[in-house]
Structure 1
Amino acid sequence: MDLARSFAHRFGQLSHPDAVPRPFVAICPAVILEEGERLPWHHHRKAQLLYTLRGTIHCETEDGIRIVPPQCAVWIPSDLPHSAFGSGDIECHCLFVEPDAAPGLPERCCTVSISPLLRELLRRAARLPELYDADGADGRLVAVILDELAAAPVENLHLPMPADPRLRALAGMLLAGPANHASLQEWASRVALSERSLSRLLAQEVGMSFGRWRRQLHVMLALQRLAAGESVQAVAIDLGYESASSFVTMFRKAMGKPPGRYLQEQGRM
């Protein structure tokens, strides 16, 4: 069963979420996906929240890729075309929200951190009936969830993707060989650009230098594997770092804290 049919199966006897006359729709039970399953490009009128309980989801939009490790969620605004695929076996909650359901909800696609309180609220919401009592206790629960979502911190787990085909080719090579630490000049020659042109195009299209862009890719790949239980040493070696300490230095520079502390604070260690 592919990812699209898996979600459709979860809808079961439910109406399509966009047609449900409630500001909040939860798919229950949690969706279980196998590694490699992919949701084709699509969009819907309601915004969507994909909350990962186990495994890692990658959400792709036209402007880039967002990684969603366990205990994080991706917020997908109304009518934004997107695709998603999993890394490892996936267990996630799928929630749909009316765009104007509450003030302060994110306006852009982003990865958000899920607090312990919000985690328990989402688990409870997954048991709500499709036509819950919007004026009763269920409606008050939904209101608290929306307030918590609006206040949830955004995680820097976005890899912007360029539109230029040469830069897209470069992105593909970096994703396929993240341990390759060739120089900017070497990468530029591989996509038939000068070093100066490559730097200029990257600044124009993704707003980052080459070094920062590659570092962001490494952070995303590292979090995916560390959240799955791999050691810092193994991840550092596979990403081409000379030592675990040099990898930790890179990670701290990008995320403001070392990987062990970051994962511990996110409740993933």
Structure 2
Amino acid sequence: MQSLPDSLKDFDIDLNPNPAVALKVRSVDNEEEIPFHVHRKGQLIFTLHGGVTCLAPKAWWMVPANCAAWIPAGSLHCNRVTKNGQVLFLYIEPDVSGMPEECCALHISPMLREMLKHFATLPQDYTATSQTARFAQVMLHELSLMPVERLNLPISDNPKIKRLADALMANPADSSSLAVWADRLAMSKRTFERFVLKETGMTFGRWRQQLQVLVAIRLLVTGTSVQNTAWELGYDSVTAFITMFKKTLGKTPGRYLNDLSYLSRQTARCF
């Protein structure tokens, strides 16, 4: 697999009219970013190893191994791949039915995972009556059945919300009170509370907690220990961090990592 820049150089997937086309890439030494852009096709960003952060106008997603982000056709977005990450891009024609109308994160079943990896080894210029075309049809149907994962941080076009998100992403351990954040954005406490709820659909406390979960996943999948992740997020107690993580995702960080590790080992056996 090539690095992100090498793989996408002089590569215009929108010129290919087939219903689905796959491309597998990897990030070599450091975290790599594909700047904001749009496609005529929809894009599935499937993480094989490491993690991908997807940024779109209305939300950010953290996509760990064996999950995927769905970006509908014509949606502005940016992808950041962690160090040594491996990613499979699946580009889908806008008229393919059954795909979500909004950006989201999707759970990928073991069967679909293997189908996606196999499809990435097939020719991109297949004909409509070929075996590859029939395989793509079954694969896309299976993809349309995948459930949505809660791995997003809702934001809006409002520059103050983006400023708030950028500040907390850069320093997730900042435990400043609601009143302090309101003052930083030149608002009263009550106005700030209403503002965040209106722009994100969440209270400030719930929204900040969701952001911390996304940051935690990014740290965990790149090798940071549970203890150090808790410290990076400003938790004095590892137990408190584990409780927050489990409440949000339904499993402890250790169990979450074990599940990802198992799926990654299963994936590696097929390369």
Distance, in Å, in 1 between the alignment partners of 2:44 and 2:179 is 40
**Counterpart code for 1:242:** D
| Corresponding position: 1:245 with 2:239 | yes
Tell me how large the CA RMSD over aligned residues is.
2.0
TM-score by length of structure 2 reads 0.88
1:100-179 paired onto structure 2 within 5 Å: 100-101=95-96, 103-179=97-173
CA displacement at 1:231 relative to structure 2: 2.1
Partner of 1:59: 54
Could you list the per-position Cα deviations for residues 151-192 of structure 1 after superposition, in whole angstroms to 9, with x for gaps in the alignment?
A: 112111111223333333222221121112121112211222
Partner of 2:9: 9
Partner of 2:195: 201
> Contact 2:4–2:27 at 8 Å: present in 1 too?
no
Distance, in Å, in 1 between the alignment partners of 2:225 and 2:25 is 28
Distance, in Å, in 1 between the alignment partners of 2:59 and 2:257 is 23
Change in CA separation of 1:168 and 1:104 when aligned onto 2, cut-off 3 Å = same
Could you list the per-position Cα deviations for residues 39-81 of structure 1 after superposition, in whole angstroms to 9, with x for gaps in the alignment?
A: 1221111111111112211111111211111111111101111
| Corresponding position: 1:259 with 2:253 | yes
- Structure 2 residue ranges without an equivalent (≥5): 266-271
> Contact 1:113–1:154 at 8 Å: present in 2 too?
yes
Partner of 1:85: 80
| Corresponding position: 1:19 with 2:9 | no
> Contact 2:17–2:93 at 8 Å: present in 1 too?
no
Other structure's SS at 1:51 match = strand
Partner of 2:66: 71
- Structure 1 residue ranges without an equivalent (≥5): none
- After TM superposition, the runs of 4+ consecutive aligned structure 1 residues lying more than 4 A away are none
Other structure's SS at 2:70 match = strand
> Contact 1:4–1:40 at 8 Å: present in 2 too?
no
> Contact 1:236–1:243 at 8 Å: present in 2 too?
yes
Distance, in Å, in 1 between the alignment partners of 2:100 and 2:10 is 26
CA displacement at 1:10 relative to structure 2: 7.7
Other structure's SS at 1:151 match = coil
